[in-house]
Amino acid sequence: MRNSRPISWLKAALKDFEEFPEDVQSDMFDALTIAAEGDKSDKAKPFKGVDGGVFECQTASKSFHLSYRVIVFSRFFPLFKPVGIVAGF
């Protein structure tokens, strides 16, 4: 069994995430699961302008031709373990 940390969603982020197209949700959830297990997905890039511990996962919808992103906060843990998620378009 994998040692996975629960994902915490900030405010309306989960509601926003659930409005993403299914293909985007699937890609992002895979990246978030990898993060919750203590690793870093190849989709996760350091979030510019913030001093460490914050990553951005971005993907495009195949059906809607739009870009979606999720911001992962992990700053308070020694490894890449998220404490909060902010979703957005």
Query: What radius of gyration, in Å, describes the C-alpha atoms of the chain?
Result: 12
Report the pLDDT value the prediction gives residue 77, as an integer from 0 to 100: 45
pTM exceeds cut of 0.75: no
Strand-pairing partners, residue 69, are 58, 88
64-83 average pLDDT score? 64
Query: Exposed/middle/buried for 9, CB within 10 Å: 0-12, 13-18, 19+?
Result: middle
Identify the band that residue 39 occupies on the pLDDT scale cut at 50, 70 and 90.
confident
Report the pLDDT value the prediction gives residue 80, as an integer from 0 to 100: 43
Q: Which of 2-6, 19-23, 39-43 has maximum average pLDDT? A: 19-23
21-26 average pLDDT score? 90
